[in-house]
A and B are shown apart, each in its own frame.
Chain A
Amino acid sequence: MTIIQTKSSTTNKVLNYPLNTWYVAAWDHEVTRTLISRTVADKPLAIYRTEDGRPVALADACWHRLAPLSQGKLLAKDEIQCPYHGIVYNSAGRCVSMPAQETINPSATVPSYPVVERHRFLWVWLGDATLANPDTIPDMHQMDHPDWAGDGLTIPVTCNYQLVLDNLMDLTHEEFVHGSSIGQAELSESDFEVTHDDTTVTVSRWMHNIDAPPFWLKNMRDKFSGYSGKVDRWQIIHFEAPSTINIDVGVAKAGTGAPEGDRSQGVNGYVMNTITPETARSAHYFWAFMRNYRLESQLITSQLRAGVSGVFKEDEDMLMAQQAAIDANPDYEFYNLNIDAGGLWVRRLIERMLEAEGRMATAK
């Protein structure tokens, strides 16, 4: 009997995560003189700020008996004390006090991971520290640029981080998941274009002369009071490896030249997303919605944060249900559609990063 292979590739269902890269561990405002515990890429971290304001991420396990340092105490300067036997470490993870003896064991250290505060986030590097170059932090400059205003939140999602990337790289799901806010049939009916390089993937979609869905009609009226005509709508999805996706979204009065570059008759937002793997089956989904109009209005900032929050709750429910179905059907594979081109480039770039680190593409 001849067996003919009918499928030329297998699309990974539970993707592993690269380690030689920057992940967001927290919002900048979460990092304070009160310790927090957060797991990033299966590494539990104790995160805090020193007295002089520097952020610190230590492994959340004391060298001695692995008690969680995040349940300990912050002392003066940059020091943290284990809650169990009082061993004190500095921000470099070096033991500075071992209460029950007169000397300090020279081996007593806990890993201190490189951290950088940028774009209103705390970024952490868990891989080879000698490769940690802050220049490779993804561009999310809209987060704190004077031309942009907005805010966001964190969603704890119980699915593999790659499912969130898939979700953001193909927005045809909006018609079905977000029908009451941003979804419309034209999303599936319009063409899209995909490009990529070594670290980025871009998916662009324009919808010409359409009715604005409720979310966008409200935004247009925030800028152009009472507007009710047709619009040209765009979604330009910018992925930057391994897990940041900034989506340039907006609508403009139809036929006023937005596709050619004149967006003055429209409203423009950036949906900033950066997804941090927590475990193989959970992620911290950090997002914000930034806009470049009506910068003075905190009301609009609050309304947009609440509105997008509601939209993303619909995604969260779908992603959790999807992960549960994946785990309940271990013998079934993923199949791919033409609309998955962006998401599949993302997977290929991440798989290359994993290969360069000598790590498996599939997580346990």
Chain B
Amino acid sequence: MAATNIEVWQQATVIETAAVATNIQRIVLAPASPKRAEPGSHLDLFVTIDGERRKRSYSVVDSTEDGSRVAISVLRAPLSRGGSIFMHGLQPGDTLEVTQPLQNFPLRVGAPSYVLLAGGIGVTAIVNMARVLKNLGANYTFVYAARSRERMAYLPELLALHGDNLQVHIDDEGTALSVADLVGSIDPSAELYMCGPIRLMDAVRRAWTERELNHPNLRFETFGNSGWYDPEEFLVRIPRLGVEARVPAGRSLLEALEDAGVEMMFDCRKGECGLCEVTVLALHGAIDNRDVFYSERQQQAAAKMCCCVSRAVTSRTGLEADAAAGGPAIVTIDVS
């Protein structure tokens, strides 16, 4: 919905902060130019990391009707690139530059039934949708999965509001989500909206395809920050330009190339549009494909990659012990 994605930047004041789960901070903002936040919308904002401004996206968890108060929730990731640490340091009275709500994940009103699937911190994109569907009296199931109960933001409130419509799956309580069961039992006319780690979303996509369900009914949002492996430092080389650069664990390949002075083409910076595509000439290690632009066939061919989100890794398991001998992964590429 292009029209709602015009970035209108404004100042916002932090009104309130609170821990809502282990390592998850709720932050309520009062924007200077409020605009109503539709379900599925997010804010872009600038964080400061080592004195540099960096853009991040956070889903709107809830907001007042007129948008004068907007809540987001931020997970302090163990391998954060620095943004979530900055966000966790915010105190009431601090100000931020934020956009008015942006929309890439619109909820369609009028589907026969809905399944909302939240994995971990992905719940932030789903909470508002669930509330709207409840108010509409829609036929919906809210599936909320996580590794442990103390990592689940908003769980008591969601249980109180959604009652039997909420299904909770917790790995360390022995109630882990079975994607096969979930997708296997879905009504073919239902729409599924999901946000969560890439492994979960990929499993749902595969099951969806296997059951030959209607693809446009599978809706998802990814901010491109979830991978198959933990990020690690790797090297990038562009022989044609004589460039060699380190890509630290906390920097994307695109950012590292920009830092090295390579003029790059890009748009979405979250692995959707394919504009930042680079050609892979040689590879020492493997590619952690974090985009949704390439098909599985294309990803396996490893001839190209979306440098905004995808990375090189040394090992197929992501474990240090399995790292390839001979140091960091090296990807040799050419750019447009």
Contacts and interface: CB of A to CB of B under 8 A. Distances in A.
A109 B1 contact: yes
Interface in A87-116: 90, 92-96, 101-107, 109-112, 114
Given A63-B2, A66-B2, A114-B110, A105 B293 contact: yes
Given A103-B293, A106-B222, A107-B104, A96 B110 contact: no
A129 B4 CA distance: 15
Contact of B135 (A95, A104, A107, A130): A130
A63 B108 CA distance: 16
A105 B273 contact: yes
B215 A96 contact: yes
A320 interface: no
Nearest to A125: B109
A103 to B, nearest CB: 5
A226 interface: no
Contacts of B274: 101
A358 interface: yes
Interface string B258-291: 0000000000100011100000000000000000
Contacts of A106: 104, 219-222, 272, 292
Contacts of A93: 108
A67 interface: no
Contacts, number: 60
B295 interface: yes
Interface residues of B, number: 32
A110 B294 CA distance: 22
A128 B222 CA distance: 25
B266 to A, nearest CB: 14
Contacts of A171: none
Nearest to B111: A92
Nearest to A103: B295
B299 to A, nearest CB: 10
B136 interface: yes
B156 interface: no
Contacts of A66: 2
B129 to A, nearest CB: 11
B293 A101 contact: yes
A249 interface: no
Contacts of A114: 109-110
B6 to A, nearest CB: 13
Interface string B146-158: 0000000000000
B210 interface: no
Interface in A333-360: 358
A16 to B, nearest CB: 17
Nearest to B110: A114
Given A114-B109, A132-B109, A104 B215 contact: yes
Nearest to A90: B216
Contacts of A128: 36
Interface in A45-103: 59, 61, 63, 66, 90, 92-96, 101-103
A358 B66 contact: yes
A93 B293 CA distance: 20
Contact of A102 (B2, B3, B297): B297
Contacts of A61: 2
Given A103-B294, A111-B1, A130 B132 contact: yes
Contacts of A111: 1, 3, 106
B91 interface: no
Contacts of A129: 108-110
A110 B272 CA distance: 17
B298 interface: yes
Interface string B215-243: 11101111000000000000000000000
A102 B295 contact: yes
A297 B104 CA distance: 55
A358 B135 CA distance: 22
B132 A92 contact: no
B216 A92 contact: yes
A92 B110 CA distance: 10
Nearest to B138: A130
B290 to A, nearest CB: 14
B222 A130 contact: no
A102 B294 contact: yes
A174 to B, nearest CB: 43
B1 A130 contact: no
Nearest to A95: B216
A358 B39 CA distance: 19
- A-B CB proximity, top 4 nearest: A94-B216, A102-B295, A129-B109, A107-B104
Interface of A: 59, 61, 63, 66, 90, 92-96, 101-107, 109-112, 114, 128-130, 132, 358
Given A61-B2, A101-B274, A114-B109, 6 more contacts: A59-B3, A66-B2, A94-B217, A96-B216, A107-B104, A129-B108
24 contacts: A59-B3, A92-B216, A96-B216, A101-B293, A102-B295, A102-B297, A103-B292, A103-B294, A106-B104, A106-B219, A106-B272, A106-B292, A107-B268, A110-B1, A111-B1, A111-B3, A111-B106, A112-B108, A128-B36, A129-B109, A130-B109, A130-B135, A130-B136, A358-B66
